[in-house]
Amino acid sequence: MTLFLDEKCVAGLLGMDDALDAVEEVFAEAGRGNVTNVPRVRAPLGEGTLRITAAVLNTMGYYGVKVSSTTIFESSAGRVFSLYAAETGALVAMVQVFAMGALRTGAASAVATKYMARAGAHRLAVIGTGRQARTQAEAICKIRPITEIRAFSRSNENRERFCRDLAPLAADVRGVESAEEAVHEADIVVTATTATEPVLLGKWLAPGTHVNAIGANFEHRRELDLDVVALAAVIVTDDLEQVKYEATDLAAPVARGIIGWDQVIALGDVVAGNRPGRTSDTDITLFKSLGVALEDVALAARAYEKAVEKGLGVRLPDLSG
């Protein structure tokens, strides 16, 4: 039996708590060597880009493939994840994953923050106020006692809407007039932009700050200046191969000899306890998020199992041939 789970169904099945549990579990398994993540493949598609990702979750019994394109950034149309049972190869679910993408990316940053930010971190700065920024803040507020959120974006209207939406998350949620003002004395910083030039400068960071950089996963995009990377005592990413061709934030300092790729750690190794997420309270730490397929498989599997349990989703005709 193959289930089709549309956006509405997925939203009813998965919340941020589900995402946090699933993402932490799958990265722990990755650190134990039980997950294979296939780095994202990109191909020209008209004026856009076709994107294909895949992962195998051996101990969880699933593998999956996601196909999407840059022509549908603001639509769920065409963003479909295919989930398979590893033992039989059966297609068990087709899942629309537009909203799920922001959910799992937020959860990945929160998991990184759990292991890399100081325990008492409570001031959050967010640069960028779009859909991804919202789930970043929501997820981080679930794993650290956030009392203050400062947000900056170029649009006053978007900034004000963002602060209204996030008001229930912290006692003090406010927009500010510059990225530097947002970052001043922050414990945790999130960059969630489509910038092509750095929006976060190392000279703004206080000792002990943790940075989640999530927006720049195309080679022409960049959110961090060289000093952010140079100052980072611990640098972590979600896939050690994919980062080399998707993250100019790290490729640029590698090219200049500021860091080497051997200094970049897999998030799975941190979650599994193989490597530390920080070594002191004064460390500046950096998580470079790409958004990888193992997160999609974990959440799609969680949605599928809950749908089966609750009798939800649309049963598709027999596809076994």
pLDDT in tens, 172-186: 999 999 999 999 999
Task: Provide CATH 3.40.50.720 ranges for the chain.
Answer: 107-291
pLDDT of 259 reads 98
Residue 66 among the catalytic residues: yes
User: Residues 52-71: pLDDT tens digits?
Assistant: 999 999 999 999 999 988 76
pLDDT of 72 reads 57
99 or 73, which is more confident:
99
Q: Pick the catalytic residue: 66, 114, 142, 288?
A: 66
- Going through the chain in order, the beta strands assigned E by DSSP cover 2-5, 35-45, 48-57, 62-69, 80-85, 91-96, 123-127, 148-152, 172-175, 188-191, 210-213, 232-237, 264-266, 284-288, 314-316
pLDDT of 164 reads 96
User: Residues 92-150: pLDDT tens digits?
Assistant: 999 998 889 889 999 999 999 999 999 999 999 999 999 999 999 999 999 999 999 99
User: Residues 33-43: pLDDT tens digits?
Assistant: 999 999 999 89
Structure tokens at 170: 């912290």
pLDDT of 183 reads 98
pTM across the whole model: 0.95
pLDDT at residue 77 is higher than 80: no
Task: Provide CATH 3.30.1780.10 ranges for the chain.
Answer: 2-101+294-316
Mean pLDDT of the chain: 94
User: Residues 261-279: pLDDT tens digits?
Assistant: 999 999 999 999 999 999 9
Alpha carbons 209 and 200: distance in angstroms, whole number: 13
CATH class of 2-101+294-316: alpha beta
CATH class of 107-291: alpha beta
